[in-house]
Chain A
């Protein structure tokens, strides 16, 4: 009987690096968008809408969202691996987490490219 891990960190190093690379992307985007907010001081719809309708901002916002969702996947998967022991429950939670995050990617794209 070969013991194969059904749900686990199969590529530990890749995910470890991805967690940090996405963190760096998000950190730079956060500083970038905060500077834009501080310069433009959006309080009305027009200014706020125009920030995200701008091509480069839209592009970087989407990259931020992709980084966020991949980062969240690794982090939340680690939580399930640490705290949920039964394989069936863990697998279910993994699948639900992936479905939610993939859905969020499509939702974010729909929001941004409708602007």
Chain B
């Protein structure tokens, strides 16, 4: 009869149903992962662009023409968001590691602040650099 006593625990295995019911800090956390993965995947192109931009006046021209392409600008916009989200969410995680803002209300508030700050900065940086 021991199996009768085993409590049926909820198993949230459907990723998409989790995503729709996730509180704000959950979205922040998943996007922290996604933005980190995206930044990692773009390291090689970014290093190549950095190399072109600093090596010589000729390679700088090449960098400038690549960076001016609409597709490149779209990728830059994504990377700027990824960096700023990863940065802001990372700073929030550091504070939580230091035991600052651990309780539920504070954690939800700081998650909202991270989204507000990172999205505002993304818009600002894209406007100043890409447009």
A residues with a Cβ closer than 8 A to B are 20, 23-24, 27, 30, 45, 48-49, 52-53, 72, 75-76, 79, 100, 104, 107-108, 111, 114-115
Contact = CB atoms under 8 A, between A and B. Distances in A.
Given A48-B60, A111-B54, 6 more contacts: A24-B94, A72-B39, A75-B33, A79-B37, A104-B43, A104-B44
Interface of B: 33, 36-37, 39-40, 43-44, 47, 50-51, 53-57, 60, 87, 90-91, 94, 97
Given A30-B87, A108-B47, A52 B54 contact: yes
B28 to A, nearest CB: 16
A41 to B, nearest CB: 11
A49 B56 CA distance: 8
Task: Please classify the interface of chain B as helix (H, G, I), strand (E, B), loop, or mixed, using the class held by over half of its residues.
Answer: helix
A75 B43 contact: no
Contacts of A30: 87
Contacts of B91: 27
A54 B85 CA distance: 29
Given A104-B43, A104-B47, A111 B90 contact: no
A114 B55 contact: yes
- The 4 residue pairs across chains A and B that have the minimum distance between CB atoms: A45-B60, A111-B51, A45-B57, A75-B36
Contact of A48 (B33, B47, B53): B53
A52 to B, nearest CB: 5
A72 B43 contact: yes
8 contacts: A27-B91, A45-B57, A45-B60, A48-B60, A72-B39, A76-B40, A111-B50, A115-B54
Contacts of B94: 20, 23-24
Given A79-B37, A111-B50, A27 B87 contact: yes
Contacts of B56: 45
Contacts of A24: 94
Kindly name the residue among A45, A75, A104, A114 whose own CB sees the greatest number of chain B CB atoms within 10 A: A45
Contacts of A76: 36-37, 40
A107 B52 CA distance: 13
A43 B61 CA distance: 12
Contacts of A49: 54, 60
A47 to B, nearest CB: 11
